[in-house]
Structure 1
């Protein structure tokens, strides 16, 4: 087999200098996870500019017996886009495929390439009078291909669903280089099996997404935001049930936070004005959106007035301006950034049935306090859809080995409790390599057989993102 230098030379000659990076320094940002906890390497980073160039790269990698790790904006939290075999894998970045091919306001749809940054898509469709509701903290960096490949969630799942529910069609390069064009924008199409679903949430293990037909909606003309203080997490979930009933489908976000949220937010934004002067056991960030003839402000005011008068809500702030609303959201976003500044820690994206959110948080918090008393807990999330980010932060000053030990202990503790609640270890971040073993451990045999059958059918040589989601290394495949 060719040496590393030979392979790099062939890749550069056949794919072109603009599409091939081989300098280790230039490859660093593609081989390091978003938080900087993991850094690896690759034979090369490939940057094709079209579906045809992706196809050519896939075929060439097969010739050179190289596996491919597809990568979007590299903002993932499960190591799904980070290579784990530097001498046998290339990173295939979709960043140069960043064209918005078409926006069709009358059809409420658009076709965008996989490398389009989410925020750019949102801005372009807004200029056309439409709205794309996928909203993530990393939307200024993440790419739509990665969003689809991980079936990303975000703050608007409650109303608009996961990314899967916003995808109308896909263009995908298969493991043999075939380009499948399934970019239909039809809302109703019942012609047999919906093949695009094989690639949504598959994290590049079944094919490489190169373009997406997305669903658009009317632009919300009214956005009303409030932060509310409650006596407990149980009270917050009871509030959610009442809000879901009284505000109907106009509620687009319902975020739970506890007091530690403000401590982490201050780390990220020291000058951020705190919305409430008194500390409470639980907080909710709630948002209603709508347009047309519906008076969203009156609906929010009426709901909050009833809740305050009944004594169920202890305190609150109703945003009087868009800037004030953005400041409220900065608390939620800042707690993520503050935790990242804290250092390596256990990050989870769990989900449980809605009726069990409060019980899970209480049981898990008590278990951590009892068994890991020197660690901090940050429990928050998109609880309107059952998604809890239950994070455990080791004590500052701990050695790398001690930190790794706490993270492993915390993950085992949280996942064991989660199993009793019949929950999921991945609500929105994907499985990747980080949670692969935990995922496989919990796979029913029938589901495992189906997943391997699909992988064998679509990628018989095991070259697409090996060891992501399921343990299938390129070294285990007979050539």
Structure 2
């Protein structure tokens, strides 16, 4: 049996006082309020060596460990809601931008660096770190890599995994892997970097990363265009890429319900239409020097209108208006939280199946009950956020007994269409059962073997991704 008292005494005597934190409530919560966690202690190391020492002590004592970034994860990977109280290792003090190599388009940052600060550091050297999510002001690089975060720019630049060249990490036994290389090519055996990226803290603790930067587009433009539905939106995307190639940075699908939720809960967000269309897309482009983004978007609109793909639209005429358009998209998740979803679904589908899924899912859900649906997401990479809400006058608590049926209905349809029940949020604790239900048996067996090999004591984030 673990002697927690001796473990805590060892932590206090081995680490600087500044590394020890009170077990405060904000460390034990998650954004959707589904779980309250617990912890025996919280450590905030200032260096990789301090993190390694804390993990080594936990390994020796057999104490579970939860890596903690910004706490913004949506699948419960950052909270332990059962089992022995874990040690929570927060990266909040490891925030340094260690090195920037603008000529190489590389930046080395510590895992606790906040995403918006990384954006600012890249901006200072006229570069772009393309990963962008709504929680950019609080999400930390370590958590973004541990969950292989997606966001709005995946269409052009890829997921977090695609933006990472190397890692520094503490392994479950407390040893440090020094993998902060700046190489595009390194074919020297198993790819430990890509194993840790997306592992959700179950295989090790990421402490720093070498990140890919990109040249800043010389000109950027944004437009909103009305479409008849997801099928027309996909044709519009194909037309946009025919016109501008890889200059299309983001292509976001939104529904009238999202604007309705904004009007209901966040009236300060300026609405683009007095009479909202049922479906519309936000198109963001970044073009090379000498090319005019607004002109390119106008040409695209004319071609799309002639082809019957769009009936109305507006092109941002200033940076301020461009930010207003983006503010609509980035505010929708917050409006969703104010309304209170019964069940939220982060799914991906083959592009050719998206229109069919959006058409079929409401009828399937109607067999369970009456709901409001807000469907939006990153259409260009097939990622939809398909969220189910109570009708006006009812709350999500009124539907607690239907939540599993709703999730099963949506996920069964996604799986039948060759999709994934976790596109960008990860598995965490919320979707462990879904992974078991829909995952390939050979893949699951390989995952368990990897977990056992790298974490034989099973101390790293137990209960996340794989059932403990």
Q: Does the aligned pair in 2 maintain the 1:350–1:427 contact within 8 Å? A: yes
Corresponding residue for residue 65 of structure 1: 62
- The whole-number CA distance in structure 2 between the counterparts of 1:401 and 1:437 is 22
Within 5 Å, which residues of 2 pair with 1:118-267?
118-267=115-264
Alpha carbons of structure 1 residues 3 and 403: separation in structure 2 relative to 1, 3 Å: farther
1:366 Cα deviation from its structure 2 partner: 2.0
Q: Does the aligned pair in 2 maintain the 1:58–1:176 contact within 8 Å? A: yes
**1:440 aligned to 436, 445, 448, which one?**
436
Corresponding residue for residue 420 of structure 1: 416
Corresponding residue for residue 463 of structure 1: 459
Corresponding residue for residue 365 of structure 2: 368
- The whole-number CA distance in structure 2 between the counterparts of 1:5 and 1:372 is 51
- The whole-number CA distance in structure 2 between the counterparts of 1:403 and 1:10 is 47
1:102 Cα deviation from its structure 2 partner: 0.4
Within 5 Å, which residues of 2 pair with 1:22-421?
22-23=22-23, 26=24, 28-85=25-82, 87-373=84-370, 375-395=371-391, 398=394, 402-421=398-417
- The whole-number CA distance in structure 2 between the counterparts of 1:132 and 1:339 is 27
Once the two structures are superposed, residues 432-456 of structure 1 have per-residue CA deviations (whole angstroms, 9 ceiling, x without a partner) of 1100111122222211221111111
Q: Which stretches in structure 2 are left out of the alignment for 5+ residues?
A: none
Alpha carbons of structure 1 residues 359 and 128: separation in structure 2 relative to 1, 3 Å: same
- The whole-number CA distance in structure 2 between the counterparts of 1:303 and 1:420 is 35
Once the two structures are superposed, residues 234-273 of structure 1 have per-residue CA deviations (whole angstroms, 9 ceiling, x without a partner) of 2222212222222211001111111101112224531322
Residue 20 in 1 paired to residue 20 in 2? yes
Alpha carbons of structure 1 residues 260 and 344: separation in structure 2 relative to 1, 3 Å: closer
Q: Secondary structure at the match of 1:378?
A: strand
Q: Secondary structure at the match of 1:76?
A: coil
Q: Does the aligned pair in 2 maintain the 1:345–1:407 contact within 8 Å? A: yes
**TM-score normalised by the chain length of structure 1:** 0.94
**TM-score normalised by the chain length of structure 2:** 0.96
- The whole-number CA distance in structure 2 between the counterparts of 1:124 and 1:268 is 34
Q: Secondary structure at the match of 1:106?
A: coil
Alpha carbons of structure 1 residues 277 and 38: separation in structure 2 relative to 1, 3 Å: same
Q: Which stretches in structure 1 are left out of the alignment for 5+ residues?
A: 473-479
Alpha carbons of structure 1 residues 199 and 415: separation in structure 2 relative to 1, 3 Å: same
Q: Secondary structure at the match of 1:42?
A: coil
Once the two structures are superposed, residues 413-441 of structure 1 have per-residue CA deviations (whole angstroms, 9 ceiling, x without a partner) of 10111111011011000111100111122
- The whole-number CA distance in structure 2 between the counterparts of 1:313 and 1:397 is 35
- The whole-number CA distance in structure 1 between the counterparts of 2:307 and 2:445 is 53
Corresponding residue for residue 8 of structure 1: 8
Q: Secondary structure at the match of 2:103?
A: helix
What number of residue pairs does the alignment pair up? 468
CA RMSD for the aligned pairs? 1.7
Range with greater deviation from structure 2 (265-274 or 432-441)? 265-274
1:214 Cα deviation from its structure 2 partner: 0.3
Q: Does the aligned pair in 1 maintain the 2:2–2:62 contact within 8 Å? A: no
